[in-house]
């Protein structure tokens, strides 16, 4: 069933798909060098904020994951989570696919998919799919591979946009977190929970605010409704990481509007999370020793 300009939803499971499905040429253009250029993606404190947030994920993993075995970070990007885990004395393996122009950003990251990674020793302590699963053409296969890699009692940590959120309904096709065509599969909490349980995981925690992005997505949508503003996501990125150039006056106006409506965006993000319809889904799932596959 068509539910947006370029999305269809399965009547049975509720999962949405980007449709028409992008071909290889479209995805190559969407992930071109501008998307993650050398030197970082964001202007000002953006990349520093990413390092701080990855540090908070590492602290959480250190509390909930078994002490033995490495943490596997899928879609490791610039390796901030790998660094944060290693600073805490955790072994970490970062997986990051290289494009046609080369391999991952760092030599210590592996240009491998989950299905290509050998199970480490007695199993991994955790597998992290942090805003990654929505990019994968076969997310159920990735969940199965995570189950294979994990030790009994190991943790699967997932964050992704919530297609059933209030923001998704309010902003419609203009919602930043659709991120077409890079996001291929769009989940709501019910569908994600069911899929994990069917693949042998027990859900320890499912929430919204910890998954990040909720405030910024609300801010992006609100700013976009003000005449004369630029795309906020482009405006906070470095010039080399923008899809379209932005003049200094228009960028300044966008920043002024964003600062003005930030309190509204923050309150809206907290309220919708409290109502169980936050913009992002955060899941801690554990490989269940007793589950029948």
Is 106 exposed, middle or buried (CB count within 10 Å of its CB: 0-12, 13-18, 19+)? middle
Local structure of 147: helix, strand or coil: helix
2-214+277-287: which CATH architecture?
3-Layer(aba) Sandwich (3.40)
Q: Is the separation of the CB atoms in 208 and 278 below 8 Å?
A: yes
Token couple for 276: 């169980």
Q: Give CA–CA dist 3/7, Å, rounded.
A: 6
Question: pLDDT tier at 103 (50, 70, 90 boundaries)?
Answer: low
CA distances from 76 to 2, 119, 209, 217, 219 (A): 33, 18, 21, 22, 26
Question: What is the residue extent of each domain of the chain?
Answer: 2-214+277-287
Residue of higher predicted confidence among 11 and 220 = 220
Residue 4 is given by DSSP the state E
Question: pLDDT tier at 108 (50, 70, 90 boundaries)?
Answer: confident
pLDDT digits 0-9 by tens, 38-82 = 777 887 666 677 777 888 999 999 999 999 999 999 999 889 999
Q: Give CA–CA dist 127/138, Å, rounded.
A: 17
- pTM, two decimals, is 0.92
Q: Give CA–CA dist 96/77, Å, rounded.
A: 6
Local structure of 240: helix, strand or coil: helix
β-pair partners for 284:
157, 205
Q: Is the separation of the CB atoms in 199 and 288 below 8 Å?
A: no
CA distances from 26 to 21, 31, 42, 97, 281 (A): 10, 9, 23, 17, 27
- The single residue listed with the structure tokens 């910024």 is 216
Local structure of 284: helix, strand or coil: strand
Position 99 scores a pLDDT of 58
Is 46 exposed, middle or buried (CB count within 10 Å of its CB: 0-12, 13-18, 19+)? middle
Query: How does the average pLDDT of the chain come out, rounded?
Result: 91
Position 47 scores a pLDDT of 66
pLDDT digits 0-9 by tens, 140-163 = 999 999 999 999 999 999 999 999
- The single residue listed with the structure tokens 């999962």 is 15
For residues 75-95, average pLDDT:
93
């Amino acid at each position: 069933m068509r539910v947006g300009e370029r999305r269809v939803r399965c009547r049975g499971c509720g999962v949405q798909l980007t449709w028409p499905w992008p071909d290889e040429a479209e995805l190559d253009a969407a992930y071109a060098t501008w998307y993650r250029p050398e030197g970082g993606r964001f202007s000002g404190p953006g990349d520093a904020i990413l390092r701080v947030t990855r540090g908070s994920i590492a602290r959480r993993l250190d509390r909930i994951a078994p002490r033995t075995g490495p943490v596997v970070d899928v879609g490791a990007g610039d390796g901030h989570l790998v660094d944060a885990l290693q600073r805490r004395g955790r072994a970490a393996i970062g997986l990051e696919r290289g494009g046609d122009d080369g391999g991952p950003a760092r030599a210590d990251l592996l240009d491998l998919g989950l299905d290509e990674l050998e199970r480490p020793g007695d199993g991994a302590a955790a597998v992290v799919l942090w805003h990654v699963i929505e990019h994968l053409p076969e997310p159920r296969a990735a969940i199965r591979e995570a189950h294979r890699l994990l030790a009994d009692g190991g943790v699967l940590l997932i964050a992704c946009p919530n297609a059933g959120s209030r923001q998704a309904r309010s902003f419609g096709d203009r919602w930043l977190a659709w991120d077409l065509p890079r996001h291929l599969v769009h989940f709501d909490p019910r569908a994600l929970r069911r899929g994990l349980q069917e693949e042998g995981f027990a859900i320890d925690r499912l929430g919204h605010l910890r998954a990040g992005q909720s405030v910024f997505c609300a801010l992006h949508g609100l700013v976009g409704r003000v005449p004369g503003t630029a795309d906020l996501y482009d405006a906070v990125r470095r010039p080399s990481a923008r899809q379209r150039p932005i003049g200094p006056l228009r960028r300044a106006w966008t920043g002024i509007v964003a600062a003005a409506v930030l309190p509204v965006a923050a309150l809206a993000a907290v309220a919708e999370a409290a109502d169980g319809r936050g913009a992002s889904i955060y899941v801690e799932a554990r490989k269940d020793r007793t589950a029948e596959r």
